[in-house]
Amino acid sequence: MRYAQHGGDFKIRKPGPLLIRAGRLGRHLAWPAIGALFAAIVATAARLLGPLAVRAGIDDGIATGDTGMIARAAIVLMGLLVVQYFAQAIAQFSVAWVGERYLKRLRADVFHHIAHLDMPFYDKAKTGVIVSRMTSDIEAMTEFANEGAVMALTNLLTIVGVAIAMLIVDPQLAFVVFGVIVVLIVISIIFQKQASRAYANIRERVGGVLASLQEGITGVRVVQAFTRQTEQAGTFGRVNEHYFDANMQAALAISWYFPVVAFLRVVGLALVLFVGGRNVIAGEMTIGSLVVFLLYLDWFFQPIINLANVYNLMQAALAALAKLFGLLDTPAVVQERPGAFDLVLPPEGGLSFEETSFGYDPELPVITGLNLNIPPGQRVAVVGETGAGKSTIAKLLMRFYDPTGGVVAIDGKDLRDLTFESRSAAITLIPQDDFLFNGTLRDNFRYGKPDATDEEIWNVCRAMGIDGWVRELPEQLDTEVRERGSRFSAGERQLVALGRAFLVEPAVIVLDEATSNLDPETEVEVEGALRVLLAGRTAVVIAHRLRSAQRADRVVMIDRGNIIADGSHDELVATNAEYAQLVEVWERGLA
């Protein structure tokens, strides 16, 4: 009954369109699917013909004393078993092959789509939900493809075939059996509905268990810092108790269903023996036919039970498919416009905000009517209090979001009119804690320029003054950085990130205070690399610390999305009270 664990409240309002769309996605697998169906039909037919060979051996062999007939019946039965074995093996593998090929295509399509979704989507979507689409939902479909689909197909064919065979052998006895089967079907439907509700509750509760577990593990430092281990365990215990209660509801459903099925099976056997035995005595039925009915009866019961179990697995797979298609149908808010063109290369790097407005929530604007021009090659520090709109400026430059009003432009060209590729080649972001991908150091240097040669990488390393550090690594450019760059320190990760940006040769660098999380010694090293990287390039530095503003050619102070000060660091200290006060606060923090 393990298929029932996939049960749940998976109500698909319009399964027809969903299945049609699923079929279109897998139309390239039509002929392999037809082959798998044919193999399943052959396997089922071979199995159903077996009892008829047994009947011939009993009625025409044992009853008449014909040993030759007994031998022939045994040979036919063995031949049918061989055919059934190979056909079943082919069907099992073929269905699994078709299913896995289908899921391979679906996984690729979903990942390609979510990789192209924009920041507005990721702001609203929960990472756990996205991961669940690619793990638990795909897993539900995988299990149905590998096991449930074959079971559903073979059992459905078996039920139809057994019903036909029973009617051919003895119609009167067949209808007696059908009466018991109708009761079994009704009982199975009742059980399926009860089990679905129970397992819907389980799926909901297991989500709470995983969330509580993840929170406790992720926040373990905070838990231990405040010595709240016992309280955190109590929270998890309450969630775990609810999960236990949900599982007991499912256990209750199972506890009555299978005894009832066993009882109905015995009732069916008793009826077949009673009615069939009387018919044999009356000469209206042969002993072989009675044996055939007893064999078919068991084959009738088990497929119906299996289908009741597989139904939940199929529903889970359909629900997972609906969720994945829903994700595929999620549009990106920031899209490349029809007719978008490439920026003229090499770009000069001049930036401008013209009456730019933006708000993550349309009702709560972060930037309103911003006007800012940055000439090519200038290093501008954007400062202000938390929530003033500094990081929003960086996100608009990277076109993570589009302004709700006005224009953000490079070299006089609206970013919305440029192709994504040319915009990303012209403007590069270096965040506070840059991300390194699992792989080699070479892979991470070349992430923005996949065709870069080793010579180009070494030239960048020499220009930044980090070639000595790279050569000291055990495997130099072949060194594995491990997950999220855990092999390296924060400063070393930033150096790799700067090298990655340098290799792309962008005209504009956007830095979200790339040195704010570094110790003073490492900061000096990274600043040296930054001077090389920023030479001759436009730079927009989201400054959280005084030193970044002091090193800039120009400082722009933002408050509530508006510019309230613009000039060099020294000029603003002398002429602007708000900036002077901000500097005073910084200096007190450094003291």
Domain edge (last residue) among 328, 362, 386 = 328
pLDDT at 441: 79
pLDDT at 12: 56
**Do 359 and 263 lie in a common domain?**
no
Judged against a pLDDT cut of 50, whether residue 518 lies above it is answered with yes
334 occurs within a structural domain:
no
* Average pLDDT score over residue span 549-576: 83
* Average pLDDT score over residue span 19-47: 85
Share of the chain above pLDDT 70, in %: 88
pLDDT at 285: 82
Angle of helix 490-504 relative to helix 520-534, nearest 10 degrees? 0
**Do 309 and 404 lie in a common domain?**
no
**Do 374 and 245 lie in a common domain?**
no
Q: Which domain holds residue 578?
A: 351-590
Q: 453 near 378, Cβ under 8 Å?
A: no
Judged against a pLDDT cut of 60, whether residue 515 lies above it is answered with no
Q: How confident is the model at residue 519 (pLDDT cuts 50, 70, 90)?
A: low
Judged against a pLDDT cut of 60, whether residue 3 lies above it is answered with no
pLDDT at 536: 77
Across the chain, what does the average pLDDT equal? Answer: 79
Judged against a pLDDT cut of 70, whether residue 247 lies above it is answered with yes
* Average pLDDT score over residue span 556-577: 83
Domain edge (last residue) among 265, 297, 328 = 328
User: Which H or E run contains 52?
Assistant: helix 30-57
CA distance 586 to 591: 9
- Per-residue burial over 11-23, b if 16 or more Cβ lie within 10 Å, else e, is eeeeeeebeeebe
457 occurs within a structural domain:
yes
Judged against a pLDDT cut of 90, whether residue 492 lies above it is answered with no
**Do 395 and 293 lie in a common domain?**
no
Tokens of 384: 């202000």
What CATH number should be reported for the domain holding residue 533?
A: 3.40.50.300
CA distance 389 to 542: 10
**Do 134 and 61 lie in a common domain?**
yes
Tokens of 25: 């996605």
Q: How confident is the model at residue 503 (pLDDT cuts 50, 70, 90)?
A: confident
**Do 214 and 120 lie in a common domain?**
yes
**Do 157 and 82 lie in a common domain?**
yes
130 occurs within a structural domain:
yes
Judged against a pLDDT cut of 50, whether residue 85 lies above it is answered with yes
340 occurs within a structural domain:
no
What is the total count of domains within the chain?
A: 2
Q: pTM of the entire structure?
A: 0.68
Domain edge (last residue) among 295, 328, 361 = 328
342 occurs within a structural domain:
no
Q: What is the Cα 21 distance to its own chain's centre? A: 19
* Average pLDDT score over residue span 123-146: 71
Judged against a pLDDT cut of 70, whether residue 522 lies above it is answered with no
* Average pLDDT score over residue span 185-194: 81
Of residues 292 and 466, more confidently modeled: 292
314-317 contact pairs (CB < 8 A, 24+) = 314/144, 314/148, 314/152, 315/6, 315/7, 315/8, 315/10, 315/12, 315/196, 316/6, 316/7, 316/8, 316/10, 316/140, 316/144, 317/140, 317/141, 317/143, 317/144, 317/145, 317/148
Q: What is the Cα 240 distance to its own chain's centre? A: 25
**Do 202 and 317 lie in a common domain?**
yes
Q: How confident is the model at residue 79 (pLDDT cuts 50, 70, 90)?
A: very high
**Do 66 and 164 lie in a common domain?**
yes
What CATH number should be reported for the domain holding residue 311?
A: 1.20.1560.10
CA distance 37 to 154: 9
**Do 295 and 169 lie in a common domain?**
yes
Query: What would the pLDDT profile of 359-395 be if each residue is shown by its tens digit?
Result: 887 778 888 888 889 898 888 888 887 777 888 888 8
461 occurs within a structural domain:
yes
In order of 63, 82, 280, 295, the CA distances from 274 in angstroms are 21, 34, 10, 16
CA distance 555 to 550: 8
Tokens of 367: 């930037």
Judged against a pLDDT cut of 80, whether residue 180 lies above it is answered with yes
Tokens of 379: 């290093």
337 occurs within a structural domain:
no
pLDDT at 4: 43
Judged against a pLDDT cut of 80, whether residue 586 lies above it is answered with no
**Do 301 and 361 lie in a common domain?**
no
125 occurs within a structural domain:
yes
Judged against a pLDDT cut of 90, whether residue 86 lies above it is answered with yes
**Do 454 and 308 lie in a common domain?**
no
Q: How confident is the model at residue 207 (pLDDT cuts 50, 70, 90)?
A: low
